[in-house]
């Protein structure tokens, strides 16, 4: 994986630690494993970030940060990856999640009409909410596991290719010198 590329665009640990808004976290941000860019921490960061990107909930980034600390994943990458679901992508993403959830629960897909009233929310919340969350959990788990496995595979493949290239360069220099 492009380690230098990630280091260039992710904030440094010192920069994040110096932010006043995050001072309430105390020594948690001093854990070095939260800032390492290696195959395991990056793959776990994508697992966490993509999972929470699919879940319709407020404060997705806070949940991703908590789980990144708990699972020893790369913290900035976990939080940034949540932005797969942003104000532009949320409506189609969550509508697809709802359709998959309705299909899994064998429920009819309801026509979309929104009224900002307490009666509409109380009547439609269960009809829409349960299929939405079932679809979100299933698709979030599936997408995050695929991302985790893909990153593991691509990272290993790149390391093997670099290792083979170094071996071949070593053989070439050994044959030239003999």
Question: Alpha helices of 10-117 — where are they, by DSSP H?
Answer: 13-17, 39-54, 60-71, 75-81, 90-104
Q: Is 14 exposed, middle or buried (0-12, 13-18, 19+ CB in 10 A)?
A: exposed
What sign results for the dihedral spanned by CA atoms 111, 112, 118, 123? positive
Q: Name the pTM for this structure.
A: 0.76
User: Which pLDDT score, from 0 to 100, does residue 43 have?
Assistant: 93
pLDDT tens by residue, 77-87? 998 999 999 88
pLDDT of residue 22: 53
Give residue 112's pLDDT.
67
pLDDT tens per residue, range 5-45: 566 666 666 666 666 555 555 666 666 677 778 888 999 99
**pLDDT at residue 55 in the model:** 93
With a cut of 50, list the residues of the chain below it in pLDDT: 1
- The predicted structure's pLDDT at residue 91: 87
10 CB neighbour count, 10 Å cutoff: 18
């Amino acid at each position: 994986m492009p380690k230098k590329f990630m280091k260039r665009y992710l904030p440094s640990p010192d920069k994040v630690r110096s932010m006043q808004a995050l001072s309430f976290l105390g020594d948690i941000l001093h854990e070095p494993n939260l800032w390492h860019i290696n195959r395991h921490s990056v793959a776990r960061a994508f697992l966490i970030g993509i999972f929470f990107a699919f879940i319709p909930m407020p404060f997705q980034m806070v949940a991703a940060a908590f789980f990144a600390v708990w699972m020893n994943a790369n913290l900035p990458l976990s939080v940034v990856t949540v932005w797969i679901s942003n104000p532009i992508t949320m409506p189609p993403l969550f509508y697809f999640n709802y359709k998959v959830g309705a299909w899994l629960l064998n429920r009819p897909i309801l026509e979309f009409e929104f009224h900002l009233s307490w009666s509409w929310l109380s009547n439609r919340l269960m009809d829409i909410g349960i299929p939405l969350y079932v679809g979100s959990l299933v698709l979030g788990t599936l997408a995050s596991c695929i991302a985790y496995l893909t990153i593991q595979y691509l990272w290993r493949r790149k390391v093997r290719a670099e290792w083979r290239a170094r071996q071949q360069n070593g053989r070439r220099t050994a044959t030239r010198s003999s």
